[in-house]
Structure 1
Amino acid sequence: MSKNLIPQYCLTGNIGSGKTTVAREFERLGIPVYYADAAAKRLMNNDKDLKSALVASFGEASYRPDGQLNRPYLAKVAFTDESALAKLNGLVHPAVHRDASAWQDGQKDVPYTLYEAAITLELGRRDDFAGIIVVHAPVAERQRRVQLRDGVTAEQFTDRASKQWPDDKKLAAADYVVRNTGSDLLFPQILHLHGRLAH
């Protein structure tokens, strides 16, 4: 947990909900955002302790000859075996947590920060934050976006989505909701929420 007294809110939402789009709008308002998924990728490539732990758990093939993460290999191993995925998360998430705490400690002169991540609630980390902001979009819209963005099949989308809490459970855990349905105006919601969080 960070020692910084600046409040940090978790910005979360299911795959395809538009978390990153919402996060970028908060950045335009001067709010620092920690992107947990991007941090995880960086740490898996650059953190020596984490790299050693991944090789010990998943084998030398976890990294390419150039020392960079072999993402297709690791994804194939982890996402086809629940115990392997749990092991991967058990290595990566603590490293991200430490990195995020150090990042938060370096923030100053802002009313709050955001921690953008997909599965914070699933990891039982709700109480680590001043509040939970859930970005919500209907599942059909989320599927459309992800298939367009990532070129995946409907089955692959469903498989990825199944690793996350269902929308109703995630919404029930929210302190604040941003609706990114495609028909709701996004920026007025963000501006209103920013006004509440920055008081």
Structure 2
Amino acid sequence: MLMVGLTGGIGSGKSAVAARLVARGAVLIDADRVAREVVAPGSAGLAEIVDAFSPRVLTADGSLDRAALGAIVFGDEAARRRLEAITHPRVRARTAELAAAAAPDAVVVNDVPLLVEVGLVPTYHLVVVVETAVATRLERLARDRGMTREEAQRRIAAQADDARRRAAADVLLRNDGSLAALHAAVDALWDGRLVPYERNVRERRVADPGRVELVEYDPTWPQQYARLAARIRHALAPADLRIDHIGSTAVPGLAAKDVIDIQLTVPSLAEADGEFARRLADAGFPRVSGDRWDDPRPVGGDRWEKRLHGSADPARPVSLHVRSADSPGWRHALLMRDHLRADPGQRAAYLLLKRELAASAPDSAAYTTARDPWFDEEYLRAEEWAAQTGWRP
């Protein structure tokens, strides 16, 4: 099963995306509908709201008067938090029930208007954000919902802004064109990413990224890492393990293969083989089969043991290196990253080497082996730098 979070600002066209995904076969969980259900007449949720805010939040027929409740909590932080403490646990519980009722191979789309605002991003395998220019949203809200411009502006301002939602997006669907164009984008997402991603999660299979080539530094790599790390941290909670962005994508300005390298620090590799491995696979990071080691530095010593997980997402290659705390490979990954960040000369030399190897030895195995001599020298330089600066991992 694949859990997808869908969000977007009011008037962005999120509902049109949700409808198209349902037409393609997704199971939809509408957070607004669930939120109404848990405070329906006769529900325990409604009774608790009345106890907290008095019967004046009821209409004549005994249902929730949303306008009256909104007037109470709008601008009152304490009242809003009291309301959320009543409704949010019930919404989460009902959402979990609906997801559990879906088929094992379902793509479950959670339509959550305030997904970013309430911190739900790490709970999904993938977050899709629908983004539309504010001017277009204002026009739609006036035309489709009869809002005045001032009311629409207030509603937009009360939500997260585009930049904040964009930072949470694994997929950004821009909806400033025609409905046909939006449907085409959704169909491409469904066929090219969501369906294979669900299959890979269910079958515990790492996606084949195909040939990964050297590309220029992408300033969004750290942001992408942050989303992945938050997902890993959520999957392993309540364990509070160290997670680091390592490798070339963690070095600003350095060209790299578009694979996010992440290091997960575990107390021991034995602990990484049981429950941790299962949870990581459930979250979309299945273990790569076979034994895995790091080549020691300098080359020639005993190999450094680790565990390796990949990504089930066909559009986001990840190498998740699971290493025990204070092990040689763990320390080396952090030292190399920090030395390259600190030394522009070595960063430039490594970049030159990477470009030369990408041209002459594009094959992954040959590319890796050809770097060994440079890495042996860099290991000694980095250790000298660590001693001089007092660096600690």
TM-score (norm 1): 0.90
The CA distance in 1 between the partners of 2:85 and 2:152, in whole Å, is: 24
Given residue 181 of structure 1, which amino acid in structure 2 is its aligned partner? D
The aligned counterpart of 2:194 is: 197
Identity %: 28
| Residues 1:46 and 1:114: Cα distance change in structure 2 (over 3 Å) | farther
SS in 2 for 1:45: coil
The aligned counterpart of 1:28 is: 23
Within 5 Å, give how 1:127-146 maps onto structure 2: 127-146=122-141
The aligned counterpart of 2:102 is: 107
The aligned counterpart of 2:183 is: 187
SS in 1 for 2:40: helix
Q: Does structure 2 retain, via aligned residues, the 8 Å contact 1:45–1:67? A: no
| Residues 1:181 and 1:37: Cα distance change in structure 2 (over 3 Å) | same
SS in 2 for 1:44: coil
Q: Tell me how many residue pairs correspond in the alignment.
A: 194
Structure 1 residue 93 displacement after superposition: 1.9
| Residues 1:58 and 1:138: Cα distance change in structure 2 (over 3 Å) | same
Q: Does structure 1 retain, via aligned residues, the 8 Å contact 2:27–2:106? A: no
Q: Does structure 1 retain, via aligned residues, the 8 Å contact 2:141–2:147? A: yes
Given residue 123 of structure 1, which amino acid in structure 2 is its aligned partner? V
The CA distance in 1 between the partners of 2:101 and 2:41, in whole Å, is: 20
Given residue 134 of structure 2, which amino acid in structure 1 is its aligned partner? V
Deviates more, 1:74-83 or 1:54-63: 74-83
The aligned counterpart of 1:165 is: 160
The CA distance in 1 between the partners of 2:52 and 2:144, in whole Å, is: 31
- For residues 38-62 of structure 1, the C-alpha deviation after alignment (integer angstroms, 9 at most, x for no partner) is 1111221146221121112211122
The CA distance in 2 between the partners of 1:15 and 1:147, in whole Å, is: 12
Unmatched runs of 5 consecutive residues or more in structure 1 = 1-5
The CA distance in 1 between the partners of 2:85 and 2:169, in whole Å, is: 25
Kindly indicate whether residue 169 of structure 2 is the aligned counterpart of residue 174 of structure 1.
yes
Q: Does structure 2 retain, via aligned residues, the 8 Å contact 1:12–1:135? A: yes
Within 5 Å, give how 1:51-70 maps onto structure 2: 51-70=46-65
Kindly indicate whether residue 10 of structure 2 is the aligned counterpart of residue 11 of structure 1.
no
SS in 1 for 2:173: strand
CA RMSD of aligned residues (A): 1.7
| Residues 1:134 and 1:192: Cα distance change in structure 2 (over 3 Å) | same
Given residue 188 of structure 1, which amino acid in structure 2 is its aligned partner? A
Kindly indicate whether residue 107 of structure 2 is the aligned counterpart of residue 97 of structure 1.
no
SS in 2 for 1:197: helix
Deviates more, 1:175-184 or 1:54-63: 175-184
Q: Does structure 2 retain, via aligned residues, the 8 Å contact 1:134–1:177? A: yes
Kindly indicate whether residue 36 of structure 2 is the aligned counterpart of residue 38 of structure 1.
no
| Residues 1:162 and 1:90: Cα distance change in structure 2 (over 3 Å) | farther
Q: Does structure 2 retain, via aligned residues, the 8 Å contact 1:111–1:198? A: no
The aligned counterpart of 1:79 is: 74
SS in 1 for 2:59: coil
Q: Does structure 1 retain, via aligned residues, the 8 Å contact 2:27–2:109? A: yes
| Residues 1:182 and 1:120: Cα distance change in structure 2 (over 3 Å) | same
- For residues 10-62 of structure 1, the C-alpha deviation after alignment (integer angstroms, 9 at most, x for no partner) is 00001111111110001111111000011111221146221121112211122
Unmatched runs of 5 consecutive residues or more in structure 2 = 197-393
Which has more radius of gyration? 2
